Chains A and B, each alone.
Chain A
Amino acid sequence: MNKIYLFNTGISNFLSVEYAFKELNYQVKKISNFEDITEESLLVVPGVGHFDNIMHKLEESNFQNIRSLIDDKKLNFLGICLGMQILFNDSSEGNKRGLGLLEGSVKKLTDRFYDDEYISTNVGWRKVIFEQQEKFSQFNDNFFYFVHQYEAVPKNENDIIAYTQKFNKNIVAAVKKENICGIQFHPEKSGQNGIKFLNSLIKGFYE
């Protein structure tokens, strides 16, 4: 197994993420500067925070230095919650540009969910549907914990690997494109099932 780096955004619930990995017997190394990554590895960017805030932190931490590692498929990227949202071009939460590793935008839930179908914060345990994802079929229709006010709207539908539903509308729950993966819910806070899912996810990168 290659190294797992956990990016310390300075804001996140990184302890929860760190212990979830420990539960799986993976040692993670916390980093706050991307210059420290020079070898094949998995980079995890946890959630909690504000879009502009985390983008600012990524800029300060020399994110540009590892773009070529990601492009060359030497570095796997796993973003959780806000860590997923920054993969896209932009977000209506803030003014900064996202990483643009996936095409699309991040939009406020209330843009699509208003009046009788109002959702400001999608918070709680929701069933996640992994459509045609053999790797994750055992998790199909399982409950995972969500807490977010913004949602990913990928340009390319093929990037979506899982969704959840509210009022018969799909909300993106996970995206994946080659070595880049983003999860809207919190596997680290979704009970033992979430931990198992995290394990499948990590293994999925190295198959």
Chain B
Amino acid sequence: MRIVSRLDIKNDYLIKGLALEGLRKLGNAKDFAKKYYESGIDEIIYIDTVASLYSREGIFKILMETVQEVFVPITVGGGIRNVDDAYKYFDHGADKIFINTAAVEHPKIIDKLVNNFGSANITLSIETIKDQDSEAWGVYTSNGRDKSNRELSEWILEATERGVGEIFITSVNFDGFQKGFDIELMSKILSISKLPIVLSGGFGEIKHLEKLSQKLSGIAIGSSLHYKKVEISEIKDKLKTMNYEVRNE
């Protein structure tokens, strides 16, 4: 089980809010990433929340600084519209990239990315909300703002067919609340997909780990690390007692 630190970025800043609405500035993103690296984090994911709206200079700067001092994988995404955008992220220090909005709108971009960078290095990010009336899991884009016309199962099958290497899935309505993971979503996605799954949204305290499945490849943690509610070592210790294979140095 990988512990992934999720850092939502706006310009140079780490931000965090609720349900992907990042409102509060928490500080320099690289400083947080470095601190987590030194505490034993397994992977960093940088999510540029405004790249599709403005320029990417902020995230490039953070990446270039982070890669000099952080020697665990750094996955980056936000606003990738084409193969060139992906190249630029790799050029500035990304080890792996993720896509969401552009793939939902033009799925053929997945094929192109796979042909350039190989499947293993392309992560599909999915933001999902369960519709209370129809009970269907909707696929959202642009940080949970826009509902697409896609349904979760159908979308995962198509993206898998096109070659994404893993799935990073966020339960939008659980994000930031620290009330526990969306276990219903976890069960749902594990029944749909055999790709490696990283589950994001809702972690707040150690006991939330108890409901996780051994089939997950990783969990992503944001607020509870940023606000120092839990330590990475506590998470790993707990997972070890539950017989997960967890990295230690």
Q: Which residues of A approach B to under 8 Å, CB–CB?
A: 11-13, 15-16, 19-20, 22-23, 48-51, 53, 82, 93, 118, 120-121, 123-125, 127, 143, 145, 147-149, 186, 188-195
Assess the A143–B248 pair: CB atoms within 8 A: yes
Q: How far is the CA of A140 from the CA of B249 in the complex (A)?
A: 12
Residue of A12, A48, A120, A189 near B72 (CB, 8 A) is A189
Q: How far is the CA of A20 from the CA of B7 in the complex (A)?
A: 23
Assess the B114–A120 pair: CB atoms within 8 A: no
Q: How far is the CA of A124 from the CA of B219 in the complex (A)?
A: 12
* Smallest CB separation, A176 vs chain B (Å): 23
By a CB distance below 8 angstroms, the chain B residues around A190 are 71-72
Q: How far is the CA of A145 from the CA of B68 in the complex (A)?
A: 18
Q: How far is the CA of A51 from the CA of B114 in the complex (A)?
A: 11
Interface size on B, residues (CB 8 A): 39
Nearest CB in chain B to that of A54: its residue? B118
Q: How far is the CA of A195 from the CA of B37 in the complex (A)?
A: 14
Q: Which residues of B approach A to under 8 Å, CB–CB?
A: 1-2, 37, 42, 64, 67-69, 71-74, 87, 90-96, 114-121, 165-166, 194-196, 217-218, 245, 247-249
Q: How far is the CA of A125 from the CA of B42 in the complex (A)?
A: 8
Assess the B115–A53 pair: CB atoms within 8 A: yes
Assess the A121–B166 pair: CB atoms within 8 A: yes
Assess the B217–A123 pair: CB atoms within 8 A: yes
Assess the A147–B120 pair: CB atoms within 8 A: yes
By a CB distance below 8 angstroms, the chain B residues around A22 are 68
By a CB distance below 8 angstroms, the chain A residues around B73 are 145, 147, 186, 189
Assess the B118–A23 pair: CB atoms within 8 A: no
Contact A121 to B116, CB < 8 A, known contacts A16-B67, A195-B71: no
* Smallest CB separation, B34 vs chain A (Å): 13
